[in-house]
Structure 1
Amino acid sequence: MFGTSKISSIVNTSSCDIKTPGHVPLDVENYPVAPDNLALEQVHVYVRHGERTPVKPRMTEHIPPQWQICHVARQFKAAVAGPGVRETLEVKRIVERKDGTFDYGECTNAELTDFGRKSTYNFGNALRKLYVDRLHFLPDVMENTDEVYLRSSNRTRTIESLQQVIHGLFPLDKQSQLFVPHICVRLVSIVRPHQSNGLTNTSRNKRDENLYPNTSACPRLNTLMEEFAKAAADSMNPTLEPLDQKISKYIDGKPIRIDGSPKASGILETIRAATANGVKVPKEFLDPAVMDPIEKAVVVEWFGGYAVSPELRRLGVGRVMDDVSQKMQRKALKKNEDQLKILVNCTHDTTIAGVLQTFGVYDRKWPAFTAQMTFELYKDKSDTSPPQSESILIFGVALTSLFSVDVRMRYQNDTVVLPACAAPGNHLEGRPEFCTLKAFAETIKEFTPTDWEAECTK
């Protein structure tokens, strides 16, 4: 594990080129600029939270359970009530062990680490270099909150990651006094039937979260995920058997399986978190001949169902993609009357992989920490038509009479050509990566639930 001085030398540097295993920084220099006749109108950014610790300790005899790489989070100012209008209390938080000892930089489970804070800050800084400095799409000094939408799932690691992104995209000296970033969250209750003691959770908020596949509020989605996990175990466990002779010694002599203890997904999660944060792992877990089969099996378990089940696509990622479609259509119709330019959503690996698989463009690799997925909306510069009524906004149907509007999807610096936009007339002529908004919206309509709550309870 790293000592305090090592971590401090990394997180305090002003350099924006820090790299950890699997992390792919946003490449501003090689970003493919759109054709001259297209003008960028709106950008939807989905970014996975930064490097974190595992959700729980595993293989603790071989991988240190205590990581001293959370120094930044331990020093903060807390809002407190008092006689003043706004008061803060400077606090240093510590993690106390059972024996009463502590370390100022020790992490808790699933916590954003110093590496994660730096990588998400770097991502925000790269967004600034791209959309402010290079493309001049956003203003140098942000003044108008209507131009920006910031949202996170209600998890500490995503909220803190988004704060880092904001700090990189809009540094304090690039914010006017009128601009106060608003981070939107939709509350979600994680009460499962066997934990509720027979009480019914009536909170509506828990149903509104769609930044990740919301199994806690959708029993049918949870059932589907369990069914596909069982099918994956049946089909993929035989592929993991050859790894037992290398891996079992690290898991108390047990075989490594999709449905094992620990599960293959838990092993993958622990190793990915450790290597991303520079924590030493046994050499076998650095061998692609070991990790590639584990990753392949776990990917099938978690995301294979999206490729074959329209129901899973609807319940898992239909609503979050419908958000993108509706906001893009509104922008296309309202034009400059809709001032929203950039939407940054801090989310999870399950969302990103689920969307990629749903569109048929998944590379079958587990999304890295700070993995980035963007949807860019463009219009034809020659269009001079006036804004139209928002009342005709119906899943893209009304867009047939509008000016040429196109959508480009990108993932991890690669431009994505959507299969649904391949047909003539569904993309910009000669440029298949620019999908017409009409085709894009109609594709999303196919996996958008009409009544999500009803489908969830059937």
Structure 2
Amino acid sequence: MAEKATPQPHDIDNYPVAPKELELKQVHIYVRHGERTPVGVRLTGQPANLPQYWSFCKTARRLQASVSGLAQGEDTDESADDFLRARKIVEREDGHSVDGDCLLGELTDVGRMSTYNYGKSLRQLYIEKLGFLPDTLHKSDEVYFRTTNIPRTTESLQQIIHGLYPTSKCHVDAVPPLFVRNAKDENLFGNASSCKRLEILLIGFAQAAATAYNHTLEPLDKKLSKYIGGNPIRVDGKPRASGILDTVRAAVAHNIKVPPEFEEKGVIDVIERAVVTEWFAGYKTEEVRRLGMGRLLQDLSEKMDHKVEHGEKDPLKILVHSTHDTALAGLTSTLDVFDEKWPPFTASVTFELFKKTAGSGQSGFLQTLLRLSTSPFRSSGPEYFVRMRYKNKDMHLPICADEGKHLEGKPEFCRLEVFRERVKELTPKDWEKECEPAGIAGAGGK
């Protein structure tokens, strides 16, 4: 059967609580938006018969926009602002409209519910189970929310916030801002539009994937070509294999019946393997990792370092970033833990920062050995560890696998120093220079 893009809320019951000597200090979350409509119109004709218009957007059609209530020449005053109430309705090409129709790529009612549930699962985990966050939000400086400047990620984040801190649990003066960056500054995904070198590299890897995988798709033509106008299914076909996968996954997520061939695991797995290679094979190289994920990881590392340096003077506890599938695949690929599967809706990558007080849980003999050790990761003060999680599983980062680079007996807890050093290697020293079409000699790697 085609894999249903099921939501990935936190598994509260099976969440692996950290060893008692570790204290959770900060959490960074990167979550894919909720279920949406396809970004293009595909498989709508005979005999596939998937809908051209998806009527899954009946909620949140009421708009309230701040408009100026001032007449020309009047003094400016915020209290003079008025509010315009309206309803958003999608108009079809022929001028006809149906209440509840969605735009292409729009967050649906299903996606709104799943992201709300994701926020509720954050509350259940970090407030009710762990007591890490306050039950009621009184100060907005304890939380950080950021989204890409795309409606489906912004709306997903709003739902997540409402699940984490519903109105009844949010002080009237605690209104957390939703941070968003201009397109040229965005780093919550591999920003090829602002980095020409990255664009060139990704196009090259996509072309290479077509050369390598198109022949593996040929056997599917007898089954699938009838659904795409008689065309062969190819990485670079019309429609592209990635577009077909996108439409099928979106349909399955909304319980829309797809042609039976797309329910065969042997069919969808072959398509997914080709598409994942097309989009993410580049992240096996150091240069794509630097240009695609380096700045995001730099942001994360710097915020963790700030927390370590300032301790309780830095009140920030949780950072939630609403982003896209490409960010999750890029992050896991860059850190060598990608499962080669397309990230589901509302899947998330989490980085948890823990503090271990010097000497806690260690014998006096072991403490002496640590003090005498010549290891660059030896510390006589508090020790810090990072745990990465994806799809409710701890990720054992290869960079932390060696003895001394993780918490003894717990390889999923990577020493912050080790994690920091790897991020430093991945951080572009001169972003604009490295993004020039020719790049910088030596900036790449393996």
Q: Which residue of 2 aligns with 1:8?
A: none
Q: Which residue of 1 aligns with 2:409?
A: 430
> For the residues of structure 2 that align with 1:366 and 1:167, how far apart are their CA atoms?
27
> For the residues of structure 1 that align with 2:153 and 2:248, how far apart are their CA atoms?
20
Larger Rg: 2
RMSD: 1.7
Secondary structure at 2:255's aligned position in 1?
coil
> For the residues of structure 1 that align with 2:89 and 2:378, how far apart are their CA atoms?
55
Q: Which residue of 2 aligns with 1:142?
A: 137
Secondary structure at 1:224's aligned position in 2?
helix
Q: Which residue of 2 aligns with 1:200?
A: none
Tell whether the 8 Å contact from 1:147 to 1:340 is kept in structure 2 after alignment: yes
Q: CA shift at 1:334, angstroms?
A: 1.1
Q: CA shift at 1:103, angstroms?
A: 1.1
Q: Which residue of 2 aligns with 1:352?
A: 328
Secondary structure at 1:295's aligned position in 2?
helix
> For the residues of structure 2 that align with 1:32 and 1:68, how far apart are their CA atoms?
40
Answering whether residue 156 of structure 2 is matched by residue 170 of structure 1, we say no
TM-score, normalisation: structure 2: 0.89
> For the residues of structure 2 that align with 1:186 and 1:269, how far apart are their CA atoms?
26
Answering whether residue 382 of structure 2 is matched by residue 403 of structure 1, we say yes
Q: CA shift at 1:400, angstroms?
A: 5.0
Q: CA shift at 1:25, angstroms?
A: 2.5
Q: CA shift at 1:226, angstroms?
A: 0.5
> For the residues of structure 2 that align with 1:300 and 1:96, how far apart are their CA atoms?
37
Tell whether the 8 Å contact from 1:236 to 1:297 is kept in structure 2 after alignment: yes
The partner residue of 1:447 within 422, 426, 446 is: 426
Tell whether the 8 Å contact from 1:400 to 1:438 is kept in structure 2 after alignment: no
Q: Give runs of aligned pairs for residues 371-390 of structure 1, distance below 5 A.
A: 371-381=347-357
Identity of aligned residues (%): 53
Q: Which residue of 1 aligns with 2:110?
A: 115
> For the residues of structure 1 that align with 2:379 and 2:302, how far apart are their CA atoms?
15
Q: Which residue of 2 aligns with 1:56?
A: 40
> For the residues of structure 2 that align with 1:132 and 1:400, how far apart are their CA atoms?
31
Q: CA shift at 1:77, angstroms?
A: 2.4
Cα deviation, 1:282-340, whole Å, max 9, x if unaligned, reads: 11111111100000000011111211x11000001111011111111111111111111
Answering whether residue 7 of structure 2 is matched by residue 31 of structure 1, we say no
> For the residues of structure 2 that align with 1:239 and 1:337, how far apart are their CA atoms?
56
The partner residue of 2:121 within 118, 126, 144 is: 126
Distance 1:373 1:38, change over 3 A: same
Q: Give runs of aligned pairs for residues 53-452 of structure 1, distance below 5 A.
A: 53-61=37-45, 62-82=49-69, 84-188=79-183, 206=184, 208-307=185-284, 309-381=285-357, 402-452=381-431
Tell whether the 8 Å contact from 2:358 to 2:383 is kept in structure 1 after alignment: no
TM-score, normalisation: structure 1: 0.86
Q: Which residue of 2 aligns with 1:391?
A: none
Cα deviation, 1:69-114, whole Å, max 9, x if unaligned, reads: 0011312322222265453333221111233321110000110000
Q: Supply the AA of the counterpart residue of 2:220.
A: L
Aligned residues: 409
- In structure 2, stretches of 5+ residues that fail to align are 71-78, 361-375, 440-446
Cα deviation, 1:128-172, whole Å, max 9, x if unaligned, reads: 011011101000110111111110011111011000000000100
Tell whether the 8 Å contact from 1:232 to 1:300 is kept in structure 2 after alignment: yes
Tell whether the 8 Å contact from 2:213 to 2:235 is kept in structure 1 after alignment: yes
Q: CA shift at 1:24, angstroms?
A: 2.5
Distance 1:134 1:261, change over 3 A: same
Q: Which moved more, 1:269-278 or 1:314-323?
A: 269-278
- In structure 1, stretches of 5+ residues that fail to align are 1-18, 189-205, 385-396
